[in-house]
Amino acid sequence: MRKIYLTLRALLLWAVSGIHFALVCTFLLFLAVFIDPRKNDLPQRVFFRNILRLIGVRFEVHRSLGFDPQRTSIFICNHVNIFDPFVVYSAIPQFFRGFELESHFKIPIYGWLMGRFGNIPVPDAPSRQSLETMTSRAKKALDSGVSLIAFPEGARTRDGHVHLFKKGIFNLAHKFGIPIVPVSIAGSYQFFRTGNWMLYPGKITVYVHDTIETANVERTELDDLRRRVQEIVSMPAEKSLQENPPEG
């Protein structure tokens, strides 16, 4: 009986949130033609928060006292599922943008929207020149006061665990002396798993941790910094998995 209930519930939530997504995305697309989205943050923030309400998930944010919301930073977060952008944008109280595969910018309408909103293209096949271009674009965003967010696992988790962080974003933060803010998403894997369409009842909790300075970090210490940040990000997610095993 519970399986039937969960199936009907998920179908309804997908339908309601999908209609909302289509309507509001059309509105934001129209708005972006006339108003720079980087100067018009409120409609986007309301939209992202509403998506979480409409998909039936409870949402909670914990921000550390050591997090400085006034600092331009690079946020480092675990990658769980397609709802991650809605989750982090609802949790982080400042304007920021993310990295997106370069090939996605070639998708009609969507690609224009990503570029217009200020996301940073990441080369599908990295070369020296393409990486230099990406670095230059990231620096331009950071210099203008726009924070960035990265999911350094490089892919969504398939088992709920946080996997090895890649080095690139840490090299970037160190190169520009930009502080890092670890961000943990906990409970999202139990709510929705990549490769499955079910939406289970649950709560997503986001932890925005202390701001970590990189300006005085030696290059030889970058691996230690990467491991330290991964450990900080992993703890709440791993604890959530142990305390609340996923259904199904």
The pLDDT, as a whole number, for residue 74 is 97
Domain assignment present for 219:
yes
In a domain, 14, yes or no: no
190 found inside a domain: yes
Banded pLDDT at 119 (limits 50, 70, 90) = confident
In a domain, 7, yes or no: no
Q: How far apart are CA 27 and CA 43, in angstroms?
A: 10
Residue 132 has pLDDT above 90, yes or no: no
- Rounded to an integer, the average pLDDT of 149-161 is 93
CATH of the domain at 220: 3.40.1130.10
Which pLDDT value is given to residue 206? 98
- CA distance linking residue 192 with residue 201, whole number of Å: 9
How far, in Å, CA of 36 to CA of 238, rounded?
39
Widest CA span in the chain:
58
Name residue 188's beta-bridge partners: none
Residues in contact with 197: Cβ distance below 8 Å, sequence separation at least 6, in sequence order: 10, 14
| Per-residue model confidence (pLDDT) at position 44 | 85
Other Cβ atoms closer than 10 A to 71 = 14
In a domain, 24, yes or no: no
Asked whether 184 and 233 are in contact (CB, 8 A), the reply is: yes
Cα gap 242→39, rounded to integer Å: 41
- pLDDT tops 90 at residue 236: yes
Supply φ then ψ for residue 63, to 5 degrees: -110, 125
Please say if the pLDDT value at position 156 is more than 90.
yes
Q: What is the mean pLDDT of the chain?
A: 90
CA angle 232/214/131 to nearest 5° reads 95
- pLDDT tens sequence across 30-79: 888 888 877 778 888 888 899 999 999 999 999 999 999 999 999 999 99
Strand-strand pairing, 202-208 and 180-186: antiparallel
To the nearest whole percent, how much of the chain has pLDDT over 90? 57
Question: Structural domain tally of the chain?
Answer: 1
> Which amino acid, residue 6?
L
Phi-psi region of 240 (alpha: psi -120 to 50; beta: other; left: phi over 0): alpha
Report d(CA 215, CA 73) in Å as an integer.
12
- Whether residue 8 lies inside any domain: the answer is no
Q: Is residue 224 part of a domain?
A: yes
Mean pLDDT of 127-147: 85
* pLDDT at residue 154, rounded to an integer: 86
pLDDT in tens, 179-225: 999 999 999 999 999 989 999 999 999 999 999 999 888 988 999 99
CB atoms within 10 A of CB 27: 12
What is the C-alpha to C-alpha distance for residues 235 and 243, in angstroms, rounded to an integer? 12
pLDDT at 163 over 90: yes
Q: What is the pLDDT of residue 64?
A: 96
Query: What is the extent of the structural domain holding 74?
Result: 57-243
pLDDT of residue 161: 94
What whole-number distance in Å separates Cα of residue 169 and Cα of residue 172?
5
Domain contains 64 = yes
Residue with tokens 């986001």: 206
Express as a percent the part of the chain with pLDDT over 70.
99
